[in-house]
Chain A
């Protein structure tokens, strides 16, 4: 069950979107998010939707994967939409029954919110689906590079993120193992009141922490043995080189963004 989490997962592929420079992808995703939240009207979402659909088609990621990451949040989305519909007043009354009144503004706000979030989820999960975590961390590190001048430990953050990503599957597997082992000693995790249940987590959490510390210590030694000394004198195998397709995609995104901006200012 712990292994079923797909958010933030990478699906290797060979599409144009996969091959793009992660820095460009990251910037474009940011522009896309701004685009989505810029307008107040339903039609202003069209630019974000166009961007998202284009990217989705080019990435060749099956829609069912996107759906899988969206599905998790559907219940929350539904509840918020229902609240919006019933609680927001304004505009024409669409439906009235006793004290329940649904107005056109309520419906509009709900629709806007639902579509916005759905497209947002689809677009951003597309970023993680098509970009390996390491490329993403790398891109963040390089984009934030200027901050090093004001002594922000950008490299350290990027390294921590890489290691965290690396050890998530290992620690999940370990948690499973420890739970099974304690069950074999008669531990139960679903009996008793809240306090008892919290206490029953101790036999899992203590070994897990001990193991995480041991792993951290061993990893630190191994990194030291491989001459790690922060980013002093460090080079990188993966050179991020922007290609024609990156500039082209960025141009398209900027045009969409510009149009969205103009539309927002004029209307």
Chain B
């Protein structure tokens, strides 16, 4: 199913039982539309509200102002709570703290079991999901026997088995080594391209954001920049001010431009950079 995610003037602060604000405004009139099937990277310094925004996408948090719509479903409407969570899956930073069961395949089944899927179908979904993330050979392992990247792939499989239309990943690679990071990025791209699943990837790694079709930069509870990666990263000064980085090649191009060299500033990959520099010398 194709489902569009829409935030309309979203505001959020934490409240106590009597609805008094007990935190400053974390999201401030945030409006965004995420098209079905897209691959969106969300960047922002710590505390910019990106994790809070992520938790709104599946109704774990309910906006204090504005609306969050998943397709036609409003997250504030309790009747939709489980439908929304089935449609929008979440993967978190620490792979250890999201695996429930003591055996890989049991954990992958957990979500589908909660949804009340018939047993034979769960079996099928679990096998499919484990094959999709390339963890089928490990289906009988205990989570403690796996590497970080493998655990994170198990967590992703658990979400895929719920047949979501969108997966939100909140810094899924922050605790992984480079090898684990590559595994996760490969899996994410495959899910987006082959399964058509909408991907929302929150990350601190620019080389990961470069792979998305769209990059949203958040700062202070709102959107600072929102465009294709080439455009977003060409705003080198703004990115640095937001506490972020740009790929080294983009920085090089920016620095050369400052010294008067004429180059296209929309360069974010090694290949494009090499090509542009060679043309300069041709």
Shortest C-beta distance, B227 to chain A (Å), equals: 29
Which single member of B94, B106, B117, B126 contacts A218 (CB below 8 Å)? B94
Total residue contacts A-B, CB cutoff 8 A: 100
Closest to B98 in A: A222
CA gap between A237 and B110 in the complex, in Å: 9
Candidates B85, B112, B119; contact of A225 at CB < 8 Å: B85
A179: chain B residues at CB < 8 Å are: none
At the interface, yes or no: A109 with Cβ under 8 Å from chain B?
Answer: no
CA distance in complex: A224, B114 (Å): 10
Q: A134-B106, A227-B162 are in contact. Are A235 and B113 (CB under 8 A)?
A: yes
> Are A236 and B113 in touch, CB under 8 angstroms?
yes
Cβ contacts A229-253/B at 8 Å (1 or 0 each): 1000111111100000000000000
Q: Does B175 contact A (CB under 8 A)?
A: no
In the complex, are the beta carbons of A227 and B114 less than 8 A apart?
A: yes
A173 to B143, CA, bound (A): 13
Q: Are A237 and B112 in contact (CB under 8 A)?
A: yes
Does A170 lie within 8 Å of B144, measured CB to CB?
A: yes
Q: Which of A186-237 contact B (CB under 8 A)?
A: 214-215, 218-219, 221-229, 233-237
Q: Given the interface contacts A215-B96, A235-B113, does A226 sit within 8 Å of B102 by beta carbon?
A: no
Pick the residue among A134, A173, A235 that contacts B116 (CB under 8 A). A235
Contact indicator A226/B85 (Cβ below 8 Å) = yes
Decide: A166 and B82 in contact? CB cutoff 8 A: no
Residues of B with C-beta under 8 A to A236: 109, 113, 119, 122
Chain A binding surface, main DSSP class: helix
> What per-residue 1/0 map shows which CB atoms of A30-56 lie under 8 Å from chain B?
000000000000000000000000000
B117 A163 Cβ-Cβ under 8 A: no
- At the interface, yes or no: B259 with Cβ under 8 Å from chain A? no
- CB contacts (< 8 Å) of B105 on chain A: these are 237
The answer to whether A219 and B113 touch across the interface, beta carbons within 8 angstroms, is no
Is B92 part of the contact surface with A, judged by Cβ < 8 Å? Answer: yes
Q: Is A218 within 8 A of B92, CB to CB?
A: yes
Which residue of the partner chain, among A162, A165, A222, A237, contacts B97 with CB atoms under 8 Å? A222
Known contacts A218-B94, A225-B85; decide if A163 and B100 are in contact (CB<8 Å).
Answer: yes
Question: Smallest distance from the beta carbon of A179 to chain B beta carbons, Å?
Answer: 18
Main secondary structure of the interface of B (DSSP, over half): helix
A218-B92, A237-B123, A239-B119 are contacts. A229–B82 as well, Cβ < 8 Å? yes
B126 touches A226 (CB 8 A): no
Measured between alpha carbons, how far is A173 from B103 in the docked complex, in Å? 18
Closest to A132 in B: B103
Within 8 Å CB of B229, what residues of A?
A: none
Asked if A237 contacts B109 (CB within 8 A), the reply is yes
CB distance from B175 to the nearest CB of A (A): 12
Q: A218-B92, A222-B92 are in contact. Are A134 and B103 (CB under 8 A)?
A: yes
B200 at the interface (CB under 8 A from A): no
Instruction: List CB contacts (< 8 Å) of B66-99 with chain A.
Output: 82, 85-86, 89-90, 92, 94, 96-99
* Interface positions of B (Cβ within 8 A of A): 55, 58, 60, 82, 85-86, 89-90, 92, 94, 96-103, 105-106, 109-119, 122-123, 126, 140, 142-144, 158-159, 162
A237-B106, A237-B119, A238-B106 provided; 4 other pairs, C-beta below 8 A? Answer: A170-B144, A227-B111, A235-B113, A239-B119
Some 8 contacts from A to B, beta carbons below 8 A apart, are A166-B100, A221-B55, A222-B97, A223-B110, A226-B162, A227-B82, A233-B115, A237-B123
A interface residues, Cβ below 8 angstroms from B:
12, 132-134, 162-163, 165-166, 169-170, 173, 214-215, 218-219, 221-229, 233-239
